[in-house]
Amino acid sequence: MDSIPTDLKYTENHEWVKMSEGVITVGLTDFAQRQLNDVTFVELPEPGDRFDAEDECAVVESVKAASDIYAPLTGEVSEVNDVLDDRPELINEDPFGEGWIFRMKVDDPEQFEELLSVNEYADMLPEE
């Protein structure tokens, strides 16, 4: 489990979620970026866009496939990682850091606790 940070929550769609003062930061897990291989393009949501939990809100394209990114919680996009427009490979290089995708002000911060813990997420991953 060394490639799964323990201070984050996770979704079944392989997104990681970090909460700070009612705002979540969302990115793809190391497992997801390895499955995609070389990320070549990211279609980001717009700040101000509202999404319900599990709505499609972004798309990541790679040399292998395109993958939808889903809003982990209900809320409004407050910031996107514009650096990904020019450097989508940051998702591969630093998935839990500079490769974050968007931030969202959530309607109900208590929903955060319903996301997967590191152990729950690790248990759903295929054996490598």
Q: Which residues contact 14 (CB under 8 A, 6 or more apart)?
A: 28, 29, 31, 32, 35
SS3 80: strand
Q: How far is CA 120 from the centre of its chain?
A: 17
pLDDT at 127: 79
List, in order of start, the domains of the chain with CATH numbers. 10-110 (2.40.50.100)
Question: Is this model's pTM higher than 0.85 or not?
Answer: yes
Confidence of residue 128 (pLDDT cuts 50, 70, 90): low
Mean pLDDT, rounded, of the chain:
95
Look at 1-5, 13-17, 22-26, 84-88 and tell me which has the smallest mean pLDDT: 1-5
